[in-house]
């Protein structure tokens, strides 16, 4: 691939292609692009934005499934620019007025935010893959106990 557009088209075609993100990171690194380590971290951590009906977004760890789009909270705060939301969800972009239809822009935001993390934290994220819960560890939905009503006696 010879251009950024080529890499982005390949990632649009296969968003789960972690190897292409790593090669893209090397390509960016050769051009002294500050997004290089961010794309490298996305590849190492096997992270990509969540997508439903051509809308993309990042969430923070602890926001439920799927885990592939959960950025660590310190990284997520730098992408989103805000703290925990009152409704209990961390999502960026979180508004229908924000552009959510461009995977490349959403990933670029994460790559740029990664560059703003402290050097030790960046090194840790690049050196070790974050552990993700297995399917067996998936949180079970909490069900409220049924209440039984006492039968009325005639």
154 assigned to some structural domain? no
The predicted pLDDT at position 51 comes to 76
Structure tokens at 93: 């972009």
> Looking at the domain assignment, is residue 145 inside a domain?
no
Measured between its terminal Cα atoms, the distance across the chain in Å is 82
pLDDT exceeds 90 at position 109: no
Alpha-carbon distances, residue 65 vs 45, 70, 79, 108 (angstroms): 16, 9, 20, 22
Residue 146 lies in a domain: no
pLDDT digits (tens, 9 = 90+) for 55-102: 776 666 655 555 556 788 888 888 866 554 444 446 555 655 556 568
pLDDT of amino acid 9: 93
Residue 131 maps to a domain: yes
Count of domains for the chain = 1
Q: Is 85 domain-assigned?
A: yes
Q: Is residue 148 part of a domain?
A: no
Domain that holds residue 73: 4-137
Question: Does 105 reside within a domain?
Answer: yes
Predicted confidence band of residue 28 (pLDDT cuts 50, 70, 90): very high
Show the tokens assigned to 25: 């990171």
Q: Is the pLDDT higher at 147 or at 51?
A: 51
Residue 17 belongs to a domain: yes
- Residue 93: asked if its preceding bond is cis (omega within 30°), the reply is yes
**Percent of the chain surpassing pLDDT 90:** 32
Scan for tokens 């924000």, then name that residue: 98
């Amino acid at each position: 691939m010879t251009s950024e557009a080529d890499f982005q088209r390949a990632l649009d075609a296969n968003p789960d292609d972690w190897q292409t993100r790593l090669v893209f990171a090397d390509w960016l690194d050769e051009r002294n692009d500050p997004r290089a380590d961010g794309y490298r971290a996305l590849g190492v951590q096997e992270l990509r934005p969540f997508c439903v009906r051509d809308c993309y977004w990042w969430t923070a760890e602890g926001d439920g499934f799927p885990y592939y789009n959960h950025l660590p909270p310190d990284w997520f705060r730098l992408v989103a620019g805000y703290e925990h939301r009152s409704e209990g969800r961390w999502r960026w972009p979180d508004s229908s007025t924000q552009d959510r239809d461009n995977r490349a822009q959403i990933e670029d935001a994460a790559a740029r935010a990664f560059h703003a993390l402290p050097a030790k934290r960046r090194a840790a994220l690049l050196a070790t893959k974050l552990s993700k819960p297995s399917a067996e560890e998936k949180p079970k939905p909490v069900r409220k106990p049924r209440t039984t009503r006492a039968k009325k006696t005639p």
